[in-house]
Structure 1
């Protein structure tokens, strides 16, 4: 395996996902204090970030023959967005910068797919993709440590994130031994989208469910106790256990796809409910954070394999479609939950999110094939 590319790709996912994209939820209490953001506006800003991911993922698919350019665009958008957050003078600029920062992840996904396909032998690609996918968890750990280090100087923290994005982008491009180019990836046709119908629905529902923790989880934890380190520590635990998602490829190969999807999605829903039920009880809150991190990243890894099993000849396009559905669900969930969330009583809103996650289980058992065998041509995405 081309370990330098895997390591740098993991770092790029950590930077664009764990820091630039999901770092918003971690820093949200700081933003809310600085710009007087309420839950509804906070959710709308996060929704914009998720939707910008969708737009850039589609654009990246059109640039599929130029993966190095796509990686460069990932770094440029994430770096400019995070630098914009650091300098934002008002809530409007902050919102625009958060949206731009989230766009970087949409470019990173397809670009890394192509680089791994070009640099890693076929039999090891599935594992390489799920290892790189776990970079989200590593980025969350780094975000928690960064927030502790910078304290109230959150602008400095986002300037550091911008620098990390630039370094990770440069390292990824340097690790591309074959100076990868690729034939334009075929886009999903009508038949492909029909085949992806159930997984698209499942991804959308799972995304809506996950939005509760990604957008408001740290806020709920911060409101549940006076100790800020407590909530930051829980977020860091979430990221640390998220790195266990690197084993998602092995999970699906050893279990059926339906069983793997059911387990990861049900555990994510349970963690969402537990987090809001007892945010001030360390054993429960930290356990819920750990469970959410591990199950969410593993769930996204299962989506990677699901797309490839359904469209083995067009796996990259399939995974982009599923991750766009995941992000659309997250955008809808952020807006919807932000509209109903009561900061002093978050349980009803988080319970709705948990129900959405449980509903996401159904499509895995309604799909038209068993998908029990490993895919012969592993292509994947974040």
Structure 2
């Protein structure tokens, strides 16, 4: 067993996020046109199926902190990988809406378990001052996964079954990497360490506001993730393989989201959120206005990718800052809110597409995004605290992690109480 450094852990986490979020979850929209054609599915049915992984993500997120705390980071991440392998394999062999729905549902469980597992491992392996930056790098792994899916559409047009089978193989490799590199630590406490302090009313109030913004952002973004490729194929009459350029734009621009989120975290989160929500809304309007113009459609994907990844990274770090002693829980609430928003938005946009068409449906979601951006001054700010100060509870918890890590490495444990700064 070899434990990675902070940089190596960030890269490993980005790779696992690329598989669980990029391939198992967000790549689905890229393959909606050929899947719809092969399985004869209506837009409304696709909208419902597109909501299933978001629902399962939310359900898995409820139990994920408990799994990470009690079963350990390694076991939770491996369970996530197994669900990913099963889900991707089911999609590759799906014969209708039921089997396809079961596959994407399993992929949603994969995504729901992965981030809490990685944040639990991060608390054991990464210095506290680096948590925000490492989280941003890991979150950017979604863009990497999306970009990995692009060549399969460009060079294997129509071969979506073989593509998903190859994704399942990559997920299996991720399971072995998890077993080899991640520690099997859990949040056990030494006898002289008190449990984390109760979440205050002020923290709950700020978490609620954060979750509302996450829900609404997820609601608006569902239109692009699920129906953007379908829009350019059916409304713009482009070929199915040309939609790969959309996801390439989303992936490339999404890598910049890690930088933007880190800057926003250190400067003015409300203003950054307002700007990125306006960009998100603009990407919907631009795509609906020019579905037959590939350069403009690809530019809308760049705008969407930067805005979406910046917002999810910002929400992730805000959750960590608001609950500094509960790393397996802090990122869960905003991510679950985003997922619930996407689950609610996906069938709504599918229904609107069937009733009023793609352009009007995207315009409606664009308007919602602009309205939400206007409320950004209510975005929660962090609790006032010394960023590098360690409490007695955090010291005890870190000692517990050190104890397990040293046991796994076969070294004797020497508990030394750290003093306050």
Name the TM-score, length of structure 1 as normaliser. 0.91
- Distance apart, 1:194 and its partner CA: 2.7
Equivalent position to 1:154, from 153, 160, 165: 160
Aligned partner of 1:131 in structure 2 is 137
Aligned partner of 1:220 in structure 2 is 231
CA contact (8 A) 1:255 1:372 kept: no
d(CA) in 2 for partners of 1:186 and 1:335? 40
Aligned partner of 2:325 in structure 1 is 313
CA contact (8 A) 2:136 2:313 kept: yes
Q: How many pairs were matched up?
A: 378
The reply to whether residue 85 of structure 1 matches residue 96 of structure 2 is: no
Aligned partner of 2:393 in structure 1 is none
Report the secondary structure of 1:64's partner residue: helix
d(CA) in 1 for partners of 2:287 and 2:338? 21
Aligned partner of 2:205 in structure 1 is 194
Aligned partner of 2:408 in structure 1 is none
Aligned partner of 2:368 in structure 1 is 356
Aligned partner of 2:58 in structure 1 is 54
The reply to whether residue 246 of structure 1 matches residue 250 of structure 2 is: no
Aligned partner of 1:272 in structure 2 is 284
d(CA) in 1 for partners of 2:254 and 2:23? 14
CA shift digits 1:127-150 (9 cap, x unpaired): 111001001111111111122232
Report the secondary structure of 1:9's partner residue: helix
RMSD over equivalenced CA pairs, Å: 2.5
Structure 1 residues not aligned, in runs of 5+: none
Moved more, 205-214 or 243-252: 243-252
Q: For the structure 1 residues 146 and 365, does the alpha-carbon distance in structure 2 shift closer, same or farther, using more than 3 Å as the test? A: same
d(CA) in 2 for partners of 1:54 and 1:187? 25
d(CA) in 2 for partners of 1:352 and 1:376? 45
CA contact (8 A) 2:123 2:327 kept: no
Question: Which of the pair has more CA radius of gyration?
Answer: 2
Report the secondary structure of 1:360's partner residue: helix
Aligned partner of 2:74 in structure 1 is 68
CA contact (8 A) 1:137 1:243 kept: yes
CA contact (8 A) 1:14 1:136 kept: yes
d(CA) in 1 for partners of 2:141 and 2:355? 30
Equivalent position to 2:179, from 173, 179, 204: 173
Name the TM-score, length of structure 2 as normaliser. 0.83
Moved more, 254-263 or 111-120: 254-263
Q: For the structure 1 residues 318 and 370, does the alpha-carbon distance in structure 2 shift closer, same or farther, using more than 3 Å as the test? A: closer
Structure 2 residues not aligned, in runs of 5+: 190-194, 391-421
CA contact (8 A) 1:21 1:105 kept: yes
- Distance apart, 1:294 and its partner CA: 1.1
